[in-house]
């Protein structure tokens, strides 16, 4: 099973420029999480801080009891073996062919023989649709192919934690969908903890168990997908809907005058108001793999916290959980728990 990652009070700056401050969240073991946020909010910096490539000024990031922020170089070297990382550009070695790029972690961190390494590398290349490309150099293939080769390399050590920095960038819609399905299937088979940084709203709505959002140098919220997708938080509403109206502007955040002008325009009916928020069906494992344990664990947490949510969110979750397209394998206790949670909701 994947490893829980507990982050508390993480703060990172470059010189006088604060990137984000006091970020606290827990990536539940064995679940898929996604981190959203406008460009320039430090999402990639957050991933690099999680694996010790960048050192935050304050806070902790604990993996298996080891704090990556304060541990020794030897401890960091050992804990990194738990991670598989897909960087935004693939981060391949330009002088190595794809086979050697994917084989690099095995040669660096294991004592496996070349025959075993060859078997594993070819298996991972086939998994990401790159069969018969092992002799090519990164400069000889497309950006999307480099991204998939980077994912193959991230998977060769059978990591317990997989970090993906904008895995859809450079991929066409079909391959983005195939990559998302691959991540779901991997999670189903290995129960690995997965964190995906993305701008892709469709991916964010359908792939993860948990969603978070960075804005104004802070973590706006982080929680189960059902809670975030029904949130009334203005920045979440604007981002999910891709609207011009709201706190997010071209220079990250708008001033009070700009927001007041937008509200006046909305009142006059000059801007259409559409809303794509709401709980949509989550991507399911490929047929034959069975149910995904992470989904049931997340749903259990949601049911336990229903009483803390606004009535509209409780109603949306109750309706979604009763829909077999949203929850094909609901835990047996759900109908009873939902009945108790929704009756008399206005009295709470």
pLDDT digits (tens, 9 = 90+) for 249-287: 755 554 455 545 555 555 555 555 566 668 888 999 998
pLDDT in tens, 24-41: 999 999 999 999 988 888
If asked whether residues 146 and 122 sit together in one domain, one would say yes
Produce one character per residue of 199-231: b if its CB has 16 or more CB atoms within 10 Å, e if not. ebeebbbbbbbbbbbbbbbebbbbbbbbbbbbb
Is there a domain that residue 133 lies in? yes
> Would residue 288 count as lying in a domain?
no
- CA distances to 16, 44, 70, 206, 316 from 195, rounded to whole Å, are 28, 12, 22, 14, 25
Structural domain for 297, as ranges: 293-347
Residue 187: enclosing H or E segment and its boundaries? helix 173-190
The stretch 314-320 carries a mean pLDDT of 86
Q: In this structure, are 126 and 244 located in the same domain? A: no
In-domain check, residue 13: yes
Question: Could you say which of 228, 255, 279 is where a domain stops?
Answer: 228
One domain, residues 219 and 324: no
Residues 224 and 256 in one domain: no
157 and 246 share one domain:
no
The whole-number pLDDT of residue 320 equals 85
What is the pLDDT at residue 270?
56
Instruction: Give yes or no: residues 211 and 260 share one domain.
Output: no
pLDDT in the model for residue 264: 54
Question: Residues 29, 34, 35, CA angle at the centre, nearest 5°?
Answer: 120
What is the pLDDT at residue 210? Answer: 97
Q: Which of 185, 223, 218 is nearest to 34 (CA)?
A: 223
Domain annotation covers residue 274: no
Domain total in the chain: 3
Judged by DSSP in three states, 217 sits in coil
| Residue bearing tokens 């059978």 | 158
User: What's the rounded mean pLDDT across residues 39-58?
Assistant: 91
What does the pLDDT average to over 234-253? 75
Residues 213 and 337 in one domain: no
Q: Say whether both 112 and 238 belong to one domain.
A: no
Q: Tell whether the model's pLDDT for residue 143 goes beyond 50.
A: yes
**85 and 214 in one domain?**
yes
Q: Are residues 221 and 237 in the same domain?
A: no
Higher-confidence position of 62 and 174:
62
- For residues 41-59, give the mean pLDDT: 93
Residue 273 lies in a domain: no
| Distances, alpha carbon 290 to alpha carbons 104, 136, 284, 286, 293, in Å | 33, 36, 9, 8, 9
- Are 299 and 330 members of one domain? yes
pTM equals: 0.83
CATH number at residue 222: 3.40.50.300
Residues 97 and 143 in one domain: yes
Tokens of 41: 């909010």
Contact predicate 30/191, CB 8 Å: yes
Q: In the predicted model, is pLDDT for residue 335 greater than 50? A: no
- Report pLDDT digits (tens) over 157-208: 999 999 999 988 878 888 889 889 999 999 999 999 999 999 888 899 999 9
For residue 280, being part of any structural domain is answered with no
Residue 272 located in a structural domain: no
Predicted confidence (pLDDT) at residue 91 exceeds the cutoff of 60 = yes
Kindly state whether residue 207 falls inside one of the protein's structural domains: yes
């Amino acid at each position: 099973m994947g490893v829980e990652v507990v982050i508390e009070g993480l703060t990172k700056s470059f010189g006088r420029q604060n990137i984000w401050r006091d970020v606290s969240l827990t990536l539940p073991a064995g679940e898929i999480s996604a981190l959203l946020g406008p460009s320039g909010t430090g999402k990639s910096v957050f991933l690099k801080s999680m694996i010790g490539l960048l050192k935050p000024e304050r806070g902790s990031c604990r993996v298996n009891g080891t704090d990556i922020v304060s541990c020794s170089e030897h401890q960091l070297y050992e804990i990194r073996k738990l991670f598989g990382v897909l960087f935004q550009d693939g981060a391949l070695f330009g002088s190595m062919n794809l086979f050697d790029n994917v084989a690099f972690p095995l040669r660096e961190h294991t004592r496996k023989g070349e025959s075993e390494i060859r078997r594993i590398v070819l298996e991972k290349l086939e998994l990401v649709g790159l069969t018969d490309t092992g002799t090519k150099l990164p400069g000889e293939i497309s950006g999307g192919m480099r991204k998939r080769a980077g994912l193959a390399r991230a998977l060769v050590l059978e990591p317990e934690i997989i970090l993906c920095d904008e895995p859809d960038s450079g991929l066409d819609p079909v391959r983005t969908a195939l990559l998302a399905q691959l991540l779901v299937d991997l999670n189903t088979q290995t129960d690995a903890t997965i964190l995906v940084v993305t701008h892709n709203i469709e991916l964010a709505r359908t792939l993860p168990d948990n969603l978070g959002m960075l804005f104004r140098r802070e973590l706006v919220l982080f929680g189960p997908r059902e809670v975030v997708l029904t949130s009334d938080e203005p920045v979440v509403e604007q981002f999910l809907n891709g609207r011009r109206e709201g706190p997010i502007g071209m220079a990250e955040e708008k001033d009070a005058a700009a927001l007041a002008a937008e509200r006046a325009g909305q009142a006059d009916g000059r801007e259409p108001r559409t809303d794509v928020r709401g709980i949509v069906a989550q991507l399911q494992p490929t047929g034959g793999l069975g149910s995904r344990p992470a989904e049931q664990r997340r749903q259990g947490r949601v049911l336990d916290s229903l009483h803390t949510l606004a009535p509209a969110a409780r109603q949306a979750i109750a309706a979604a959980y009763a829909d077999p397209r949203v929850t094909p394998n609901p835990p047996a206790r759900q109908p009873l728990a939902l009945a108790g949670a929704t009756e008399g909701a206005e009295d709470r």
